[in-house]
Amino acid sequence: MKEALLVLADGTTFEGEAIGADAPDGISAGEVVFNTVLTGYQEVITDPSYAGQIVTFTYPHIGNYGVTDLDCESRRPFCRGVIVRDLARRRSNWRSDADLEAFMQAHGLAGIAGVDTRRLTRHIRDAGAMAGAFGIADERALKAAATAEPGTSGVDLVATVTTDQPYTVGDGPLRVVAYDFGIKRTILRHLGTLATVEVVPASTPAAEVLARDPQGVFLSNGPGDPEQVPYAVDAINGLLGEVPIFGICLGHQLLSLAIGAQTEKLAFGHHGGNHPVRRLSTGAVEITSQNHNFAVVADTLAGKAEMTHVNLNDGVCEGFRVLDAPAFSVQHHPEAGPGPHDASYLFGMFVELMHAS
Amino acid sequence: MPRRDDIESILLIGSGPIVIGQACEFDYSGTQACRVLRQEGYRVILANSNPATIMTDPEFADATYVEPLDVDILTQIIEREHPDAVLPTLGGQTALNLAMALHARGVIGVPGTPEMIGANAEAIATAEDREQFKIAMQEIGLSVPASGIAHNMDEAREVIQRIGLPVVIRPAFILGGKGTGIASTRDELERAAQYGLDASPISEILLERSIAGWKEFELEVMRDRADNCVVVCSIENLDPMGVHTGDSITVAPAQTLSDVEYQLMRDAAFACIRRVGVETGGSNVQFALNPANGDMVIIEMNPRVSRSSALASKATGFPIAKIAARLAVGYTLDEIPNDITKKTPASFEPVIDYVVTKVPRWAFEKFPGTKGVLGTSMQSVGEAMAIGRTFPESLQKALRSLEHGRRGLNCDPAEALFDEMTDEELVTCAAIATPDRPFQLEAALRRGITIERLYEATRVDPWFLDQISQIIDERAHLAAVGIAALSRADWRRAKRLGFADAQLAWLWGVDEDQVRATRSAHGVVATFKTVDTCAAEFEAATPYHYSTYEDDDEVVASSKPKVIILGSGPNRIGQGIEFDYCCVHAAFALHEAGFETIMVNCNPETVSTDYDTSDRLYFEPITYEDVLNVIEVERRSGDLRGVVVSLGGQTPLKLAGLLSPELVLGTSAASIDLAEDRDRWNDLCARLEIPQPAGGTASTAEQALAIVERIGYPALVRPSYVLGGRAMEIVYDDDSLRAAMSELAGFGTLGREGGLSAERPVLVDRFLEDATEVDVDAIRDRTGDVLIGAVMEHVEEAGVHSGDSACAIPPYSLSAETIAVIEGHTRAIADALEVIGLVNVQYAVKGNQVFVIEANPRASRTVPFVAKATGVPLVKAAARVMVGATLLELRDEGLLPEPVTGHVAVKEAVLPFNRFPDADSVLGPEMRSTGEVMGIDRTFGLAFAKSQMAAGDRLPTGGMVFLSVADRDKETAIGAAHKFTDLGFTIAATAGTAEFLEGHGVPVATVVAKLGEATGVDAVDLIASGKVNLVINSPRGRGARADGAHIRAAAEQHSIPCLTTAAAGVAAAEGMADWARHELRVRTLQEYHRGATDQLELPL
């Protein structure tokens, strides 16, 4: 057991023990966020949307049911580190084929355990998401690393996670092109049952996509600030009206920018599996999986799109439909992975939209 | 969809007396519902026979019927009140079954009658009828275990041909798993199936292929009328399938499910609640999972608020019952704010950042003859819940909360119990689910028995076993390093694993205070976190805390004067809902008087652990260490005036002497001690010239024998500082006296309740036979003014524990002079003890002489009954008195109305013998009842008849009474028998009783043979034949287990009312006589308290 420290950019420190891989110089740095899911740590850790971030799990016992390849949301973890209260010493579940710690070591992911994660969460809640650094290095080195960490604003994190080559998945009857801004495998599994999906790099221009003659285009989730991905916004502009579009999370934010709306950064974002979202057309409430720090400014949609979903906790825009083109998007994650399945009907709506066009 | 305006009045059916399987959780849910519905402006009509509940306080409903929960009675209430709707989903299985019976009768749920809200009859039938449920689940694609239905033994055998053994047998329409069993062989099947058929009110059982050993999970689900569904909480049972969930150690949230599996379970739970058709409210859905391949089957669903939903509410801060009540009257989840965050809606799924463990508490020691093995029928009488940041911490906290003499997961004197077992024996024992299992698991792992081997034997998931191993590893480290060399990190790790200072003190052989001091010197002190439904994502407005060992503390400072109220911990026999009632009343009264009230308790079922009850709630064990932690943090954050220790039963009272004297509110610790210290108490009585039965105190068998030499037999032997007559016994000779003393000495070594030690000697008193027992509850204030709450006369004679005896207000046979003497003694004793607050004094009246048995300067079990019977809010007054008010001031405030008269209230005990078929149902000095009911009416007879009906024994209106009584009871029996004859009953009796009765002019129609005699019908045959309508059987002498026990067991088995004292027989005769002349009529408590019953006069 190696003692370790977590130091936030504002100087707040937390004691713990090093877990997972050894970080270079004993330091891992990134933007510290928290996630409140009770299950689904592996999906969270391997979700490319966490690129640049250190994930704090608010649930104290992490690793209980081990890991399995089946639950990986991408080829490897893209987050910068993991903060837990207690890492399971022994896993127990028939599905698992390795321990979480072994998985972290295999993927070079460092973590810190034993942390008062509730104190940390309350701190982030009150002070906002902030950079931090953890590891076995001394406090001063960690503080310096935390201060030097740029965070997720103003950097193009999509470029670090997207695929370099197009590839095809699924064997559904429709033809869909999916932009990979950091796409999760669960999304591909959903799309793959509906369509033959050609996954393309984030930088793929509209013309190239249209040349593939898709029946629909999917805009994936992904990390960071939508304003840092202008090439994607341009491409979406070229697709709007040409082909039905469905976006999730970052894809939703990028679609909003393409129609001239604006996005903003939330204080500490939505990261969890329990947010209530109202579907405005029916009034029904769905419990959703969420993972974003940026959000669409609802007022800026006026005249361009109709809001279709709203977060009941804080009123954040959770979904909209473009007025003059067959395009819609949601901020939350209907694919779940991890999280509830309440919003999975949205994939069906995408199919309907493709059939209608 | 807002509140429904088409209904104005709602009848809420309560759950009646506390029984195994239905405890305080339904007072909690019912109280929440009453509050909410009244806030919403509905007229609330409440029916519940249990006087010890908060919900039956007259201010919680517009019309409160403390009447038997019986279809006829409820029909009368409905005819009288004409409610627009009936809400049956908050009163447990009792309310659900009653609602179905009322529906079947066409009284509710059909056009032109009150609507059933929450769940309609069809939904209830779909969920409750095993066969319908299985078909419904298969329809929606969910797996269920292979099974078949049987209505008789032939059908049962046919089902087994088809599905094979082993099977679980579940009777339809039962609660708490009564009558359920497992059969692995043909012989077991014959026995278990018959038992199940007998237990089902419709004689129907489900035989289900056993999935014992699978993992068991529960989801608490809510649905609103817009079809929004949420999961409030997931629960994983530590014990695998095969142990009733009420008897399992359960953990929230689920620990070993991946998200993929959890979400499938969630989808299945929603599909289930939708298919069953629960339109609004909460349901509990149970699943089993094959640990080898993840196969999931649905076990059952409860279309109502349940014990698990109370647990889920306390575990998450999401008030299920309150929200269920709002949903029932039309609201949707998104229209209801989350109470705790205030800012977010209730249409979300709580997440928690801690682990909750619930551990049941059993009372097998009170039921000799039972095996103490856990199974599919619930046997626990209470439970404790603990919150920790990790499972080891919450498990150890929960175990020390149980107050079963354990300080945590072993590491205490009682662990010696396993020392002499071989590895093989230990593993074999652990394989059988018993209350000792968690301790056996720890002991086994500590010896190095592998997790794999234990898992094979017990099917307790390896994750849990590994967590226990972490406690063991730390213990080894702590033992090796020793207290002096421990680093801050070591201390922190130990406390984070839930080690109590008391465990460490034992481990190192030092004083607990030394452990605390050394630890604190290292800066390792308890920190308090908040239960907030959202894992700190949002700011929480409700102060609901638990202790753990982390970096910082979330308790906010306040300026009001504060009072801590210590609760009563898990329900047990002798200490249950009555004390929770007292603590809750104190919280209400002191809050109204301007204090900030702070509740400390660990019982998840109760109203006291509702975060709405007090200004601040600490969900903590009631131990010295944990209470000191709360005191320290409250002292740091404001003006702490004191601690109330005298309202939660013995649990907090035992701590009185350990706290700083200036903190103990009301009667001082010294006075409490004086009442318990036999010698000083004797001196006090002598000084006051109040007679006592002769007696003395003994620490050894020799001393006890010497006392008996002086006072003679029979003698009553009882330990000090216990409640509910734990280990109390009447002995008639030297051998039984020696046996009793040696049993108590055994408890002492293991640190068990009632254990004998030099500091806590045993009391040995002359037992007064055939004396009338009397209880008095009174309040004395600081000026010496005394208020007599009530004098209660017991129906059963002294020798039957007061908690098991029926008792009446006002006394029905005592003379005015005797009552005056009793009141005088009570005042004198209260004065001499310098009581400030409540005091309970027990007397035995023999002839005209009044003997004092004992005095307890604390709230007693009878206080709620007295308040309901007289309309005087005793506890509220006592709480005020404890913080300095005088009775005079309270009278001026209008808080102390004059007690109402003009009616009789009878409290009857409810006994759990149907759960323990192997135990004798005879009453004795050891209390064994789990709950109580109240019958209230114009005469003693009617009130007694109602109390029997409420307790589940409807007195017959005609037929045959079977009498078999001990010699000393025969005189008394004559009177009863004459009355029965006059009422037209025929009499059957055993030879001896028959001869005596006939000798006194009572005709005996049937004389039965002794059991086992070759010729003639014996008592058991007669009872089994169904010809007997009432059994009166008192034990002969020293609890002989021969004929009497068989007679009583037969009555129990065939659900025939059985009275075990002749005195109760007389009372029953009187009740039946009154009942024959008058119909039973219902009245509200409000009417009784207004004295308005005179206008409703029945001619007598």
Measured distance CA(B953)–CA(B1048) in Å, rounded: 14
Torsion, Cα B1040 B1041 B1042 B1043, to 10 degrees, reads: 90
The CA distance from A116 to A134, in Å, is 14
CA B899 to chain centre: 28
**Count of residues making up chain A:** 357
Contact B537 A125 (CB under 8 A): yes
Quick check: helix, strand or coil at residue B841? strand
The average pLDDT across A8-22 equals 97
Catalytic residues of A: 249, 333, 335
Check: CB of residue B1059 under 8 Å from CB of residue B947: no
What is the number of CB-based contacts under 8 A between chain A and chain B? 166
Cα–Cα distance list, A50 to A72, A179, A319, B1003 (Å): 13, 17, 21, 90
The sign of the CA dihedral B767, B768, B773, B774 is negative
What gap in Å lies between CA A223 and CA A333, rounded to an integer?
Answer: 14
Indicate the pairing of strand B786-797 with strand B115-116.
unpaired
Residues 6+ apart with CB under 8 A from B807: B775, B792, B793, B794, B795, B862, B906, B907
Q: Where are the alpha helices (DSSP H) in chain A?
A: 41-45, 100-106, 117-127, 139-148, 158-161, 185-194, 206-211, 230-239, 250-258, 345-356
pLDDT digits (tens, 9 = 90+) for B1030-1048: 999 887 654 444 567 788 8
Closest chain A residue by Cα to residue B534: A36
Q: In what order do the strands lie in the sheet with B904-910?
A: B849-856, B837-846, B772-780, B786-797, B807-809, B904-910, B931-937
Q: DSSP string of B306-365?
A: -HHHHHHHHHHS--HHHHHHHHHTT--GGGSB-TTTSSSBSSS--B-SSEEEEEEE--GG
Q: Using CB atoms and an 8 Å cut-off, which of residues 351-370 of chain B contact chain A?
A: 351-355
How many Å is the Cα radius of gyration of chain B?
28
Q: Return the pLDDT at A1.
A: 79
- CB spacing of A94 vs B355 below 8 angstroms: no
| Contact between chains at A39 and B258 (C-beta distance less than 8 A) | yes
Chain B, 546 to 585: residues with Cβ < 8 Å from chain A are: 550-552, 554
Asked, as a colleague might, if the bond just before B925 is cis with ω within 30 of 0, I would say: no
How many other C-beta atoms can be found within 10 angstroms of the C-beta atom of residue B739?
A: 15
ω before B810 within 30° of 0 (cis)? yes
The distance of A276 to chain B (nearest Cα, Å) reads 5
Q: Which of the 8 DSSP states describes residue B238?
A: S
Mutate to test the interface with B, among A122, A282, A291 (most CBs of B within 10 A): A122
DSSP B784-814: S-EEEEEEEEEEEEBTB-GGGS-EEES-SS-
Shortest alpha-carbon distance between residue B493 and chain A (Å): 9
On chain A, the residues whose CB falls within 8 A of the CB of B334 are 276, 278, 285, 312
Give helix then strand counts, H and E, for chain B.
Answer: 36, 38
Q: Best residue in B215, B338, B353, B552 to probe A by mutation, most A CBs within 10 Å?
A: B353
**In the prediction, which pLDDT does B1100 show?**
42
Q: At what angle do helices B512-521 and B501-508 cross, to 10 degrees?
A: 110
Q: Are A119 and B354 inside 8 Å of each other by CB?
A: no
Residue in B261, B266, B353 closest to A340 by CB: B266
- Cβ under 8 Å to A: B residues 326-345: 332-334, 343-345
A318 within 8 A of A277, measured Cβ to Cβ = yes
Q: CA–CA separation, B97 vs B304, rounded Å?
A: 12
Q: Which residues of B touch A313 (CB under 8 A)?
A: 343-345, 348, 538
Interchain CB distance below 8 Å, B550 and A88: no
- Considering only alpha carbons, which residue of chain A is nearest residue B355? A60
Taking the C-alpha atoms of residue B68 and residue B140, their distance in angstroms, rounded to an integer, is: 40
Whether residue B652 contacts residue B646, with contact meaning beta carbons closer than 8 Å, is answered with: yes
Enumerate the residues of chain A whose CB falls inside 8 A of the CB of residue B251. Answer: none
- The reported pLDDT for the residue numbered A167 is 98
pLDDT of the residue at B883: 97
- Nearest beta carbon to residue A274 from set B226, B349, B529: B349
What are residue B788's DSSP bridge partners?
A: B778
User: Cα(A71)–Cα(B222) distance, rounded to whole angstroms?
Assistant: 29
Query: Can you tell me which residue has the tokens 């690393």?
Result: A145
Which residues have C-beta within 8 Å of that of residue B307, sequence separation ≥ 6? Answer: B21, B22, B23, B25, B246, B605
Distances (CA, A) of B828 to A308, B687, B785, B839: 76, 10, 11, 12
Nearest in space to B240 (alpha carbons), one of B552, B457, B497, B466:
B457
- Cα distances (angstroms) measured from residue A104 to each of A77, A84, A113: 8, 13, 13
* Beta carbons of B350 and A274 less than 8 Å apart: yes
| CA distances (Å), origin A292, targets A224, A265, A295, B225, B921 | 8, 9, 7, 31, 64
Q: What is the DSSP string of B6-42?
A: S--EEEEE---S-BTTB-THHHHHHHHHHHHHHHTT-
Taking contacts as CB-CB distances below 8 angstroms, the residues of chain B near A336 are 263
Which of B221, B225, B260 should one mutate to test binding to chain A, selecting the residue with the greatest count of A CBs within 10 A?
B260
What is the distance between the alpha carbons of residues B829 and B127, in angstroms, rounded to a whole number?
56
pLDDT at A182 over 60: yes
Q: Do A95 and B260 touch (CB under 8 A)?
A: yes
Give chain A positions within 8 Å (CB) of B262: 38-39
pLDDT in tens, A101-152: 999 999 999 999 999 999 999 999 999 989 999 999 999 999 999 999 987 7
In B689-770, which ranges are E strands?
695-698, 715-719, 729-731, 762-766
For residue range A227-273, list pLDDT tens digits in order: 999 999 999 999 999 999 999 999 999 999 999 999 999 998 999 99
Q: Do A90 and B463 count as a contact with CB atoms less than 8 A apart?
A: yes
Q: What pLDDT sits at residue A301?
A: 97
Structure tokens at B422: 């071989």
Find chain A residues with C-beta within 8 A of B253's C-beta: 38, 59
Name residues of chain B where pLDDT drops below 70. 1, 175-177, 721-725, 747-759, 1012-1015, 1036-1043, 1092-1100
CA distances from A309 to A196, B344, B1058, B1063 (A): 28, 16, 64, 71
Residue B408 has phi, psi (to 5 degrees) of 160, -150
Which of B304-340 are b and which e, b meaning 16 or more Cβ less than 10 Å from the residue's Cβ? bbbbbbbbbbbbbbbbbbbbbbbbbbbbbbbbbebbb
Other C-beta atoms lying within 10 Å of the C-beta of residue B508:
18
- Cα of A203 to nearest chain B Cα, Å: 33
Residues in chain B with CB shorter than 8 Å from the CB of A71 are: 258-260
The answer to whether B256 contacts A285, with C-beta atoms less than 8 Å apart, is no
* Tens-digit pLDDT profile for residues A31-58: 999 999 999 999 999 999 999 999 999 9
- CB contact residues (below 8 A), chain B span 279-318, against chain A: 291-294
Q: For residues A199 and A168, is the Cβ–Cβ distance under 8 A?
A: yes
Listed residue (B1066, B1051, B1073) closest to B797, CA to CA: B1066
Q: Among A218, A130, A144, A129, which Cα is nearest to A178's?
A: A218
Window B:489-508, CB contacts with A under 8 Å? 489
Contact A312 B347 (CB under 8 A): yes
**Model pLDDT, residue B58:** 95
